[in-house]
Structure formats: structure tokens, C-alpha cells
């Protein structure tokens, strides 16, 4: 009988493809469930940090009694010409880099009872960048406009902010607050996800850039690769538990294999090699159709864990097949269907899906029971409770990595 682990220990053991005391149970409740549980309008959380999303998440994992995966911290840094001091800087682009506060103006406007808008303007010597975001009463932020509207004009302004030489703080924000309740991970974005996050227009505009301006995109990618590898090293030195490569928009539901091989996979290879060299877990997130993504990365990269391995109809992954083919090399996280029994079924239905998923991927360790991407805000809490309790009930390991309590 294995001794009981903390959530952080349990998650890290599974992420390293080892055998913890039981299967970690960690549904992806990254945004909507924590926000709902506060009872507040979403703009209080996303725009005013009252409470912050990280605080709401820690409260939610305690309420649900689940294993935690904390992605809400940051490490200050970026352009070496800018200070590393929380009093003097503000984060941009998912807190990927921090710039002096005096360069940024922020305006928040209540549009209606159900909608608040935030406008950001950032000054550079080369001109201004501007974006606008809408936050609804019961929905996360939605980009209305983004910084890069005209690539020849706006990219040099963004690059000036990001800098040519970089430095990072030596500590992770909120890590002590998280403690043993959760793995402390920080995100770096694939180039596709980074570009989609700053490019004005819908995702089709981002995709057309790779065809309309291939030389320009290759040059920007080379810059972003150098920046990101410097950042990954900085985050690891600051003490993160894991590096999450965020590739939500890098799935075959949105882009094609050619774009992935040219603009995503090369950086994934270098990130995973660097993380392995520095002794840090490297974690890949790609929702939607990701079977081919798994295959490409398993051929070339060295990820320790891949998720959320969505099954049809929203994805195309058979997690039992992935476990058979790659389970000796990589840990897996997933893959309960968020639009299926979790949303529309009964607690008994959810328990049966948990049992089937544990049979498919839980034996031998190296597995985290989770949802196939983020759980929707309208998911019944009784179904989440059923998932968590069933995972604990049937996911206990014996010393050989078997699940003796599994029916």
C-alpha cells in the first residue's frame, strides 16, 4: 500500500510517468467553474481581480476536493531594458512579458448590464499599439481587436516592447500560496497560439498570414523562438514545477500539418530538450483533433506529458491506443468528453465513463484523469463531484501499478 501523497506530489509523480498512490483526478476547470463558484460577475475576476482567477481556482479545488493544476502565476521579466519590479511593470499578452506601467493606459467601460469593455493602449517610440476586450457577466474575456493590425507597422512596435535581450526574476509569483495543493505550472505558447493571441481579426486572418507573408512569418517565428527559449530557461530557474506548452489553436481542428511542422514542432523540440536538460517537466496541451499532433511530437519532441487527448466528436483520439503505443514514454492526461456525459448525463453515467477511461489508460501509472479540455460553465456540479469521487474510488494503485478496485 502506497503512502498518501499531496496533490502536488501525486500530479508530479504521474507527470513523470511514474506510479503515485492513486490516479490524480484533475478536471480542467481553468476558468468558468471557479468564476461561477464566486457568484460574482466575470468582470470582477478578469478585470478587477476581486478575487483573482488564481484565488478563485484555489477555492474551487478545495470546494470540489480535487487535485490541482495551478496556471495563474507568473515570473516577472522580459525586455532587459525594463525593470523587474511588480510595482513598476504590467504584464502583456498572457503575462508573457512585462513592460513599464507608464507605457500602458487602461480604460474600462460598462457597456450594459451584461457587458464590460477594456481598452489597452501601449506607447512605443515606433507608435501605439491598441486592443479591446469584452468581458460578459457570465463568460470569460473575448478579444474584440488585437495589437497587430498592420504587420509592417505593428510588429516592430511589439518587438520593441519584447526586446532583443531578456532577463527574468528569480521567483514565481503565488508559489508559496499554492503550496502542496497543486502543481505550479506556467504557460509558454506555441508560435501559432502567440500569433493568434496578438493578431487582429479571427483565426482565419492568422492562418492566411502563413500563406500571404511566409518570409515575414518565418522571420517573426525565429525571433519568437529565441525569446521563448530564453523565457523557458528563466521560468525553470525561478522554480516552476512544469512548463506547459499551450497549443489550443495548434490542433488539426484549426491548422494543417504543414503549418504545424514548420511553425510549431521545431520550437516544441527545443523547449522539451531544454526542459529535460534543466530537470523540469514539459507538458503539451492541444485540444480538438490532436491524434496527428501526438504522433508528430512523439516522433521528434520529448514531452513528459500530453493532454487533453479529446475523443470524438470534438477530437479524434483513442486514448487506449495512445496508451498502448506511447505509454512507456509519455504520461497522459484526459479525456472525459466535456460535451457528453459530464454535461448531459447523470452522475452514474459519469462514473461509468470514468471506469472506462481508467481501464483504457490508468494501469501502470503515468495518467491523470481529466476532462477533454475545459469544463463548460453549465456543467452540473453533481457530475463533477461524481467524476472526482469515482476517480478516487477506482483509481488506487497497488505496488505493481495495478488498479485493484477497478470493476
Number of structural domains found in the chain: 1
Strands 281-285 and 242-246, sheet pairing = parallel
CB neighbours of residue 261 within 10 Å:
12
Asked if 404 and 396 count as a contact pair (C-beta separation under 8 A), the reply is yes
Q: Is 378 exposed, middle or buried (0-12, 13-18, 19+ CB in 10 A)?
A: exposed
Tell me what pLDDT residue 376 has. Answer: 95
Instruction: Give the CATH number for residue 77.
Output: 3.20.20.210
Q: Is residue 405 part of a domain?
A: no
Q: Is residue 91 part of a domain?
A: yes
Q: Is residue 189 part of a domain?
A: yes
3-class DSSP state of 182: strand
Triad 244, 248, 250: Cα angle to 5°: 105
Tell me what pLDDT residue 3 has. Answer: 85
Pull the grid cell for residue 210: 502563413
Pull the grid cell for residue 59: 477555492
Asked if 369 and 25 count as a contact pair (C-beta separation under 8 A), the reply is yes
Triad 304, 307, 312: Cα angle to 5°: 145
DSSP 112-156: ETTEEEEEEEEEETTEEEEEEEEEETTEEEEEEE-SBSSHHHHHH
Tell me what pLDDT residue 1 has. Answer: 59
Triad 311, 23, 30: Cα angle to 5°: 60
109 conformational bin, left if phi > 0, alpha if psi -120 to 50, beta if neither: beta
Q: Is residue 118 part of a domain?
A: no
Residue 14 phi/psi, 5-degree rounding, is -65, -40
Q: Is residue 400 part of a domain?
A: no
As beta bridge partners, residue 135 has: 116
Question: Interhelix angle for 214-238 vs 203-212, to 10°?
Answer: 120
CA dist 74 and 133 (Å) reads: 21
Tell me what pLDDT residue 2 has. Answer: 75
pLDDT in tens, the chain (407 residues): 578 999 999 999 999 999 999 999 999 999 999 999 999 999 999 999 999 999 999 999 999 999 999 999 999 999 999 999 999 999 999 999 999 999 999 999 999 999 999 999 999 999 999 999 999 999 999 999 999 999 999 999 999 999 999 999 999 999 999 999 999 999 999 999 999 999 999 999 999 999 999 999 999 999 999 999 999 999 999 999 999 999 999 999 999 999 999 999 999 999 999 999 999 999 999 999 999 999 999 999 999 999 999 999 999 999 999 999 999 999 999 999 999 999 999 999 999 999 999 999 999 999 999 999 999 999 999 999 999 999 999 999 999 999 999 99
Cα separation values, 296 from 91, 166, 186, 219, 252, Å = 33, 31, 23, 23, 12
Q: Is residue 406 part of a domain?
A: no
Tell me what pLDDT residue 327 has. Answer: 97
In the chain, DSSP finds a helix count (H) and a strand count (E) of 16, 15
Helix (H) or strand (E) segment spanning residue 361: helix 347-361
CA dist 104 and 309 (Å) reads: 38
By residue range, what is the domain housing residue 269?
7-99+151-394
State whether the Cα torsion 354-402-26-189 is positive or negative.
negative
Pull the grid cell for residue 156: 516592430
Asked if 48 and 164 count as a contact pair (C-beta separation under 8 A), the reply is no
CA dist 361 and 369 (Å) reads: 9
Cα separation values, 277 from 139, 215, 233, 270, Å = 40, 32, 10, 10
Amino acid at each position: 500500500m502506497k503512502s498518501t501523497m499531496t496533490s502536488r506530489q501525486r500530479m508530479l509523480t504521474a507527470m513523470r510517468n511514474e506510479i503515485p498512490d492513486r490516479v490524480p483526478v484533475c478536471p480542467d476547470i481553468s476558468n468558468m467553474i471557479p468564476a461561477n463558484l464566486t457568484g460574482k460577475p466575470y468582470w470582477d475576476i478578469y478585470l478587477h481581480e476581486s478575487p483573482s482567477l488564481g484565488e478563485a481556482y484555489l477555492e474551487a479545488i478545495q470546494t470540489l476536493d480535487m487535485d490541482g493544476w495551478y496556471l495563474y502565476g507568473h515570473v516577472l521579466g522580459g525586455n532587459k531594458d525594463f525593470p523587474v519590479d511588480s510595482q513598476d511593470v504590467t504584464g502583456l499578452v498572457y503575462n508573457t512579458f512585462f513592460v513599464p506601467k507608464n507605457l500602458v493606459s487602461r480604460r474600462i467601460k460598462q457597456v450594459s448590464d451584461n457587458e464590460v469593455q477594456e481598452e489597452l493602449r501601449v506607447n512605443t517610440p515606433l507608435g501605439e499599439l491598441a486592443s479591446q476586450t469584452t468581458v460578459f457577466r457570465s463568460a470569460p474575456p473575448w478579444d474584440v481587436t488585437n495589437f497587430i493590425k498592420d504587420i509592417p507597422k505593428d510588429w516592430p512596435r511589439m518587438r520593441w516592447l519584447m526586446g532583443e535581450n531578456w532577463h527574468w526574476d528569480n521567483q514565481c509569483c503565488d508559489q508559496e500560496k499554492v503550496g502542496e495543493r497543486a502543481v505550479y505550472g506556467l504557460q509558454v505558447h506555441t508560435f501559432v497560439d502567440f500569433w493568434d493571441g496578438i493578431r487582429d481579426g479571427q483565426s482565419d486572418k492568422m492562418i492566411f498570414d502563413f500563406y500571404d507573408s511566409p518570409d515575414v512569418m518565418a522571420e517573426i517565428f525565429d525571433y519568437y523562438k529565441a525569446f521563448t527559449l530564453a523565457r523557458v530557461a528563466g521560468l525553470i530557474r525561478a522554480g516552476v514545477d512544469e512548463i506547459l506548452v499551450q497549443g489550443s489553436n495548434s490542433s488539426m481542428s484549426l491548422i494543417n500539418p504543414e503549418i504545424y511542422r514548420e511553425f510549431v514542432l521545431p520550437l516544441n523540440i527545443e523547449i522539451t530538450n531544454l526542459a529535460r536538460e534543466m530537470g523540469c517537466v514539459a507538458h503539451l496541451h492541444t485540444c480538438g483533433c490532436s491524434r496527428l499532433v501526438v504522433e508528430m511530437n512523439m516522433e521528434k519532441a520529448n514531452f513528459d506529458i500530453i493532454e487533453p487527448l479529446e475523443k470524438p466528436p470534438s477530437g479524434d483520439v483513442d486514448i487506449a491506443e495512445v496508451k498502448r503505443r506511447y505509454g512507456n514514454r509519455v504520461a497522459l492526461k484526459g479525456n472525459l468528453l466535456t460535451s457528453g456525459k459530464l454535461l448531459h448525463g447523470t452522475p452514474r453515467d459519469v462514473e461509468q465513463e470514468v471506469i472506462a477511461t481508467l481501464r483504457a489508460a490508468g494501469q501502470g501509472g503515468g495518467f491523470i484523469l481529466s476532462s477533454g479540455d475545459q469544463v463548460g460553465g453549465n456543467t452540473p456540479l453533481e457530475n463533477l463531484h461524481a467524476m472526482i469521487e469515482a476517480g478516487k474510488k477506482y483509481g488506487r494503485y497497488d505496488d505493481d501499478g495495478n488498479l485493484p478496485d477497478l470493476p
